[in-house]
Chain A
Amino acid sequence: RKEVEQDPGPFNVPEGATVAFNCTYSNSASQSFFWYRQDCRKEPKLLMSVYSSGNEDGRFTAQLNRASQYISLLIRDSKLSDSATYLCVVTISYSGAGSYQLTFGKGTKLSVIP
Chain B
Amino acid sequence: GAGVSQTPSNKVTEKGKYVELRCDPISGHTALYWYRQSLGQGPEFLIYFQGTGAADDSGLPNDRFFAVRPEGSVSTLKIQRTERGDSAVYLCASSSGGSEDTQYFGPGTRLTVL
Chain A residues engaging chain B, CB cutoff 8 angstroms: 4, 31-32, 42-46, 49, 87, 89, 91, 93-95, 97-107
Interface pair A103/B45, CB less than 8 Å apart? yes
Interface pair A45/B105, CB less than 8 Å apart? yes
A46 to B103, CA, bound (A): 8
| A44 CB to nearest B CB, Å | 5
> In the complex, which of the residues A97, A102, A103, A107 contacts B56, with contact meaning CB atoms closer than 8 Å?
A97
**Can you list 5 A-B contacts (CB < 8 A)?**
A32-B100, A95-B56, A100-B103, A101-B56, A105-B42
Interface pair B42/A43, CB less than 8 Å apart? no
Q: Knowing that A97-B50, A97-B56, A101-B48 are A-B contacts, what are 17 other residue pairs whose CB atoms are under 8 Å apart, sorted by A's residue number? A: A31-B99, A43-B91, A46-B102, A94-B56, A95-B56, A98-B55, A98-B97, A98-B98, A99-B48, A100-B103, A101-B59, A102-B93, A103-B45, A105-B42, A106-B40, A106-B42, A107-B42
| B42 CB to nearest A CB, Å | 3
A96 to B68, CA, bound (A): 20
A31 to B97, CA, bound (A): 14
Q: Is B62 an interface residue (CB 8 A)?
A: no
> In the complex, which of the residues B41, B45, B50, B108 contacts A98, with contact meaning CB atoms closer than 8 Å?
B50
**Residues on A with beta carbons closer than 8 Å to the beta carbon of B107:** 42-43
Q: Which of A87, A99, A104 has the most CB of B within 10 A?
A: A99
CB-CB nearest in chain B for A89: B42
What's the count of A-B pairs with C-beta under 8 Å?
67
A45 to B108, CA, bound (A): 12
**Residues on B with beta carbons closer than 8 Å to the beta carbon of A89:** 42
Interface pair B99/A44, CB less than 8 Å apart? no
**Residues on A with beta carbons closer than 8 Å to the beta carbon of B48:** 97, 99, 101
**Residues on B with beta carbons closer than 8 Å to the beta carbon of A91:** 99
Interface pair B50/A49, CB less than 8 Å apart? no
A95 to B95, CA, bound (A): 17
**Residues on A with beta carbons closer than 8 Å to the beta carbon of B101:** 100
A100 to B103, CA, bound (A): 9
Q: Is B20 an interface residue (CB 8 A)?
A: no
